[in-house]
Amino acid sequence: DAVAQHHLGRCYLTGNGTAHDEKKAAKLFRKAAKQGLAEAQLAVGRCFQLGPGVVRDEEEKVKLYKQAAEQGTAQAQSNLAKCYLNGEGVEQDEAAAVRLYRRGGAPGHFGAQ
């Protein structure tokens, strides 16, 4: 199931309980993301942003952050806001960035406040 795939992906990414393997981690995150798991969509987006296990891809990163943000994931909303603010993978749009930062500014989510 998607949750198990996401958790196993995290194990591969960190090397917790298994060999460190970024490609396997990214593959598992993608499987879980395709099933609609917001945490996995966020994780794959980060992979496309930072490069572990995949080739960096700004547009794919934005697509996945949007999917997770639409499900209310505060970190994805914050990450997507940064994309709009800096024009990373999307046309720069400060108004969209502000809207997303406000939505992602949930209590305890310091990156968006």
In three-state secondary structure terms, 35 is coil
- pLDDT per residue as tens digits for the range 43-68: 999 999 999 999 999 999 999 999 99
In whole angstroms, what is the distance from residue 95 CA to residue 50 CA? Answer: 25
pTM score, whole prediction: 0.88
- pLDDT per residue as tens digits for the range 72-87: 999 999 999 999 999 9
What is the residue whose two structure tokens read 């496309």? Answer: 48
- In the numeric block, which tokens belong to residue 108? 């305890």
Length, in residues, of the chain: 113
Distances (CA, A) of 64 to 20, 73, 108: 24, 11, 23
Which residues, including other chains, have CB under 8 Å from residue 51's CB and lie 6 or more apart?
A: none
